[in-house]
Structure 1
Amino acid sequence: MQQLGALGKYTLTKKLGQGATSTVYLAFDPFAKREVAIKVLKQDILSDPRMGKLYQRQLDNEASLVGKLSHPHIVSIYDALIGDDASHIVMEYVSGGTLEKYAEPGNLLPVDRVVDYMFKCCRALNYAQFNGVIHRDIKPANMLLTEDGDIKISDMGAALLLDIEQTQINNIGSPGYMSPEQLRSEALTHQTDIYSLGVVMYRLLTGYLPYKAENLPALCQQILHATPPTPRNLRPDIPPQLERVVLRAMHRDRGERYQNWKDFGSDLAALGRFEQKAIEINQTEQFSTLREMSLFKDFTDIELWEILRVGEWQMQPAQTVLMREDEMGDVFYIIIEGSVSVTKNGRLLNLIRSDDCFGEMAYISGRVVPRSATVTAGTEVTVLKISPAQLAKLSDHCQLHFNQAFLRVMADRLRMADDRFAKLAN
């Protein structure tokens, strides 16, 4: 690949884009052995008499987030250099482009895909809020797609600009997605991001922004006072319950708007898939299912996303043999729904139901061992299959929580075995 030069330890390979304030390059980090995106600031803008301080604040915000936010749906910031002569930010490279291309009437995503993306954004922005970060510039252009079609939010360091006229003139911020409280220059909370994500949903579902005006003052007046067309008026196949979620998220009155990301995300998760014939279960539903299980009560949201990335979600009919005694194996299973019977030499030893696991002894022993019993699906079952090799790829904290969960399972089973033995002895 042709090289454009070097920037410190990074090899610049391609210009990805250029704006009024910066140029973004694709580069290679030879130490971490990965591609990165580097945003190089146009240094002279910091001396701009009107906007220099605001640009500096945005730059400082981004630099302060180096290594701070680690979430599967947030673009990571790896490195930053802020100097008098040069400034740049080194970020995770996300190759699939932005959601902007799906924000036009002729190129809309399926409804369930929009729901899935917005649910993941809720989780990411909830995590950001927990770490003291409010985005303030949520829009399709700041939502990037990975090569395999997942979503990541970028520009987490976007500065809050209270002067809306300057925002428009200098192309910083996005008035069409701004909350009423932003336009009124009020103190902002996470609810401003909730409003903006609601507008993004509206745009992705219909292809239109809720408000349209010929100039900025008229647009501001509409956001503050007008009632937008309902999404179903623009796209009749939108389910009514989804329309209610969108309108609540972008409600002008903060008291009527979602109060927190958890409620917003829960309502999205409750919608499920709209293509009822689809056999696959999307990650939104999978995540919500794991979140409700007591087995995973100590796992963080990020750790649950880790598990979904390495686990294999399976649905098996009744009487399927999932594990056979004396065969060699080291994978283990989490029962999501249904029940299995555990037998040895044809004798029933146990029934295991949802929110439990089996096969974990091989993982605990640390090697491939003969199975001590046969496990058969007693009903149609949904299981999450995980191999120790895949589990080893998880973060240390996630593996620790798995070990703790398995210890609780073993303790419960020993207690049950003691109770049975006591009853037999009596």
Structure 2
Amino acid sequence: MQQPATLGKYTLTRKLGQGATSSVYLGFDPFARREVAIKVLKQEILNDPKMGKLYQRQLDNEASLAGKLSHPHIVAIYDAMIGDDASHIVMEYVSGGTLEKHSAPDNLLPIDRVVEYMFKCCRALNYAQFNGVIHRDIKPANMLLTEDGDIKISDMGAALLLDIEQTQISNIGSPGYMSPEQLRGEVLTHQTDIYSLGVVMYRLLTGHAPFHAQNLASLCQQVLHATPPPLRNLRPDIPPQLERVVMRAMHKDLQERYQNWKDFGSDLAALGRFEQRPLDINQTEKFTTLREMSLFRDFTDIELWEILRIGEWQQQPAQTVLMREDELGDVFYIIVDGSVSVTKNGRLLNLIRSDDCFGEMAYISGRAVPRSATVTAGTEVTVLKISPAQLAKLSDHCQLHFNQAFLRVMADRLRMADDRFAKLAN
């Protein structure tokens, strides 16, 4: 009996597909006890004198995202190995095929289903942008369907990582779905993905591409200058307001196109008859709030984005007990807005207002410790909750700035305590 092939700790079950640069296998992870998809790179393509560097950059991009993007509508990257002789990426296995099969006129999805899928993609791409990632190759073939009919975005190899120094490489993407600014080789933002998702919607709703051409040069000219046929000319039952959403997403003028995923998703949610969970609170607003706080005065912009990624933004009503005396805990809180009272044995010790923190002694101690006091929201309060385990994932410079900020807080509190004792002595 022939033993199944292996790749490191993974058992290879069967080949799922093959492309010009890689082969994908169904595998099994015996430690996590789950099926996985394993993309095995053709090593010779990395040595190609013309395209080798591009393929290597794409491979490095995908490998660098292992364990970093965790979202219900993004295919998880579990593991990566890049070597001189062999390279592979281990991903979540999604068994339902791609949306490509639903881009033909004779196999279109119901309109409500398309709207739901695109809304979920807005959520996923908003999350990716928050984590510093622009996809750059949004198309039906990179949208996978799960067995229970949900959707996940895959293939982050073309992704542009915004939090590292990286030269943007032009001509990454699929020409029919590329934005005008991507074709022109301009600096890209998340709006290029918004355009591409608009093209995906056009294709899924009508079964036709917005532009048709005999060659690549003609196609590029149409993307840059032509206006696509109205969707309702191709499928009259498309609601007019949905047609407007698609055309706005595909607008060639960046000022007229959707400015952010929140607005795009909100317009889709207003059209859909599905569970509508709002997009996350605007991350730019959160960033701006932290930037204005003196607690973070020494932090760089990139470090603030790091903090937003690992922290839990909470809004709690007045009288909520955030920390209880003698209970073990290791998380700490930064007060963004509002105030809290600190009591011990029912006696008021302190009032802490915005641009301050509490619970930091557990972090400084390096372990979970009994809380020395009870902390209660005195007003409706907005806090950023951070655990030491998450804090350890931050860059060394960011952790150093946290330590310096906590030292300033402790020094201020010691000075306040000295002032109180001095007053009592008098």
TM-score by length of 2: 0.64
Matches within 5 A, 1:13-412: 13-27=13-27, 37-41=38-42, 54=50, 56=52, 58-62=54-58, 72-73=68-69, 78-81=80-83, 89-96=87-94, 100=99, 106=110, 107-108=113-114, 109=116, 113-123=120-130, 137-142=137-142, 154-156=156-158, 173-180=173-180, 188-191=185-188, 194=190, 196-203=192-199, 207-208=204-205, 211-213=210-212, 215-216=214-215, 219-228=219-228, 246=249, 251=252, 267-268=260-261, 282-283=279-280, 285=282, 288-289=285-286, 292-293=289-290, 294=293, 295=295, 297-298=299-300, 300=303, 303-304=306-307, 306-308=309-311, 311=312, 314-388=314-388, 390-391=389-390, 394-395=393-394, 397=396, 399-412=399-412
**Aligned-partner Cα distance in 2 for 1:331–1:80:** 36
User: What whole-Å deviation, never above 9, does each CA across 1:280-304 have from its counterpart, x for those lacking one?
Assistant: 7754646852563135544636633
Give 5+ residue unaligned stretches, structure 1.
Answer: 129-134, 163-171
Which secondary structure state, in structure 2, belongs to the residue aligned with residue 379 of structure 1?
A: coil
**Aligned-partner Cα distance in 2 for 1:304–1:123:** 11
User: C-alpha root-mean-square deviation of aligned residues, in Å?
Assistant: 5.3
C-alpha change, 1:138 and 1:273, in structure 2 (3 Å) is closer
Contact 2:26 2:93 in 1 (8 A): no
Contact 2:138 2:197 in 1 (8 A): no
**Aligned-partner Cα distance in 2 for 1:68–1:368:** 31
**Aligned-partner Cα distance in 1 for 2:249–2:395:** 38
Identity of matched residues, %: 46
Aligned residues: 381
User: What whole-Å deviation, never above 9, does each CA across 1:196-245 have from its counterpart, x for those lacking one?
Assistant: 413223145554587232644654342122124689996555698x8797
Contact 1:18 1:24 in 2 (8 A): yes
C-alpha change, 1:352 and 1:237, in structure 2 (3 Å) is farther
Deviation at 1:358, TM superposition (A): 1.6
Give 5+ residue unaligned stretches, structure 2.
Answer: 70-75, 161-167
C-alpha change, 1:42 and 1:63, in structure 2 (3 Å) is closer
User: What whole-Å deviation, never above 9, does each CA across 1:232-272 have from its counterpart, x for those lacking one?
Assistant: 996555698x879735xx526x8x689xxxx95xx445788
What amino acid does structure 2 have at the position aligned with 1:190? V
C-alpha change, 1:300 and 1:377, in structure 2 (3 Å) is same
TM-score by length of 1: 0.64
**Aligned-partner Cα distance in 1 for 2:88–2:83:** 9
What amino acid does structure 1 have at the position aligned with 2:373? A
C-alpha change, 1:335 and 1:81, in structure 2 (3 Å) is same
Contact 1:13 1:27 in 2 (8 A): yes
User: What whole-Å deviation, never above 9, does each CA across 1:106-156 have from its counterpart, x for those lacking one?
Assistant: 3323665343323234345x568xxxxxx7644454467999988665123
**Aligned-partner Cα distance in 2 for 1:384–1:239:** 39
What amino acid does structure 1 have at the position aligned with 2:186? T
What amino acid does structure 1 have at the position aligned with 2:249? V
Contact 2:61 2:157 in 1 (8 A): no
**Aligned-partner Cα distance in 2 for 1:384–1:337:** 10
